[in-house]
Amino acid sequence: MIKILLKKELKEFLSPIVINRKTNKPRSRAALFALTALLLLAAAATGASFYFLCMFFSEITLAFGLDWLYFVLVAVLSLMIGVIINVFATFNALFSAKDNDLLISMPLKPSQILSARMISLYLLGTLFTAIVWVPGLIRYWIAGSPSFLSVVFGILLLFVVSAFVLVISCLLGWVVGLITSRLRNKAVFTTILYFLLFGLYYVVYFKMSDILRNLAENIDSFERSMSGYLNPFYLIGKAAAGDVLCMIIIFCLAAAVTAVCIFVLSRSFIKISTSNKGAKKKAYDKEDNSFKKPESALFAKESKRFFGTPIYLFNSGLGVILMIVLAVIVIVKSNDIVAFLHMLDVTVPWLGDGMSVILGVIGMMLISTIAISAPSVSLEGNTLWILKTLPISEKQIFSAKLKLHIMMNTIALIALLAAVAIAFRPELPEMIVLSAFLIIYMLFEAYLGLVTGLTHPVLDWSNETVPVKQSMGVLICMLGGWGIAALVAGLYAVLFISLEINFITPILYLAIWTVIIGLLVLYMEKWLGTKGAKKFREL
């Protein structure tokens, strides 16, 4: 029975990659290969940043023969990253899946439903954990003195650490489920939790240098606190360094806690999945009824969905918060930045000259993380019939989706541009071109999101995680945006640094890109009015 359920879970998990949503047929081998390569590239880029962190870990541990301690640090980092990324996907997949009612009504044990879902989540968690654990292993193989057993155990431990990631994510997801089942406004609570958890991640991230310095200074006491066979991290560390007994113990421990986790969750699965208690009725007030124009009504609908769907708000709106936070930091640290820029002018003049391009590229990368329009078509899901039977044009529907994206981005962009003006103090023409460039790029991302959302729709999802996190449209929008940012930066490096051309200035270079991207926006606007509208009608 679990096999059948697992097949269903894996089908949904892999469908954005394996199935071409345009044709609803499996992708060709070439397309599958290209897509896999793209995903691996993104994973490798992220893994590279963790590799540098592991370099530091290796310097303070391996040099002193503390191989096991090195793996303790890598394991802590892997667990933290894995859990943060996985916890809400776990909650949504376990307790908020649309087919929970259907499955519960079938002659299936809760443990069977949970086990199938957990295996699917385990695979997802393994992928996220691997982004940290694999660079950690590679670093050890390069800088350490790996034995045959440590290589084998190191690889096997990826699956053990992933099991702990799964268990912690499930238990945290279970707590979230228990709390939200007693709340009237689940969306607000879940969203706040999203941001708190991610805020914690960023606090740790920004404090990382302090943490690492403390770690280096107090490595002896850290070693003592981590030692002991009762400490799972110690067991992981020793096992990764090639200790057979520790490997057996940690393997059994992982299996045992996973079994306990399934047992505990099974006992409250039905209760949490179907509970709606605490939802006190609010009285209907006809004063809330007010007339709006169709365009405003459509925009209000898009806004309600954005602010009422935690995973959508968090994943697609996080970039807005990040940009505002970054803007505040830049303003607060403006004096330091000015001093730094003076130093750059003296030491690396070409970098100072191209500051507007560098700022433009950073802005592009930040804007690319705000994918609000990209999943908006897919999120219509089963309710698509409403838009298709109401007397509204595709243009009106698209405008509302674009407007929400543009409005949310505009707030963040204004903050960012204000910070640039205060901290970097560019000259007026430079500021005007940079502003125009980023505004046009923001429009480009809004249109690209809608276009890819229409060309790669996912309407048959069972929870919002699929269109918001796993749809091809979102992926193309984010990675495509970073790709264009890399192109702008790379071409700048070739033209101005390698070839040292001087007949166009960096400002003119940005202005040319503004025109090119603007033309692409116009093309997409035209496409939406013709082919895009046809595609929407055919959905």
Partner 1 sequence: MLTINNLTKKYGDIKAVDNLSLEIKPGEIYGFIGPNGAGKTTTLKSVTGILDFDEGEIFIDGLSIKDAPLECKKKFAYIPDNPDLYGYMKGSAYLNFVADIFGISTEKRNTLIEKYAGLFELTDDLATPISAYSHGMKQKLAIISAWIHDPKLIIMDEPFVGLDPKASHTVKEMMREVCDNGGAIFFSTHVLEVAEKLCDKIAIIKEGKLIRSGTMEEVRGDESLENVFLELA
Q: Closest separation between CB of residue 231 and partner 1, Å?
A: 44
Q: Closest separation between CB of residue 535 and partner 1, Å?
A: 12
Residue with tokens 């003195």: 145
Looking at the DSSP bridge assignments, the partners of residue 19 are 26
Q: Tell me the C-alpha distance between 170 and 262, whole Å.
A: 9
Q: Closest separation between CB of residue 319 and partner 1, Å?
A: 21
Question: Exactly one of 23, 105, 221, 290 binds partner 1 (CB under 8 A); which one?
Answer: 290
Question: Exactly one of 278, 294, 349, 490 binds partner 1 (CB under 8 A); which one?
Answer: 294
Question: Exactly one of 22, 292, 425, 531 binds partner 1 (CB under 8 A); which one?
Answer: 292
The alpha carbon of 244 is separated from its chain's Cα centroid by a whole number of angstroms, namely 37
| Contact status: 27 vs partner 1 (CB under 8 A) | no
Interacting span for partner 1 (CB under 8 A) from 158-166, 167-175, 263-271, 305-313? 305-313
| Contact status: 18 vs partner 1 (CB under 8 A) | no
Q: What is the DSSP letter of 287?
A: G
Q: Tell me the C-alpha distance between 134 and 161, whole Å.
A: 12
| Contact status: 31 vs partner 1 (CB under 8 A) | no
The values of phi and psi at residue 469, to 5°, are: -110, -30
Q: Closest separation between CB of residue 120 and partner 1, Å?
A: 24
The alpha carbon of 137 is separated from its chain's Cα centroid by a whole number of angstroms, namely 24
| Contact status: 389 vs partner 1 (CB under 8 A) | yes
Question: Exactly one of 23, 29, 105, 391 binds partner 1 (CB under 8 A); which one?
Answer: 391
The alpha carbon of 83 is separated from its chain's Cα centroid by a whole number of angstroms, namely 13
Task: Name which of 344 and 533 has its Cβ closer to partner 1.
Answer: 533
Burial of 253 (0-12, 13-18, 19+ CB in 10 A): middle
Question: Exactly one of 24, 29, 210, 291 binds partner 1 (CB under 8 A); which one?
Answer: 291
Is-contact 122 162, C-beta < 8 A?
Answer: yes
**3-class SS of residue 109:** coil
Q: Closest separation between CB of residue 68 and partner 1, Å?
A: 49
**Measuring CA to CA, which residue among 99, 95, 92 is closest to residue 124?**
92
| Contact status: 211 vs partner 1 (CB under 8 A) | no
Q: Tell me the C-alpha distance between 512 and 495, whole Å.
A: 14
Residues of this chain, 230-289, that bind partner 1 according to CB under 8 A: 276, 279, 281-286, 288-289
Q: Closest separation between CB of residue 391 and partner 1, Å?
A: 4
**Measuring CA to CA, which residue among 54, 79, 80 is closest to residue 69?**
54
| Strand ranges inside 414-497, DSSP E | none
Q: How many residues bind partner 1 (CB under 8 A)?
A: 38
Residues that bind partner 1 (CB under 8 A): 187, 276, 279, 281-286, 288-294, 296-298, 300-301, 304-305, 308-309, 381-383, 385-386, 388-393, 537-538
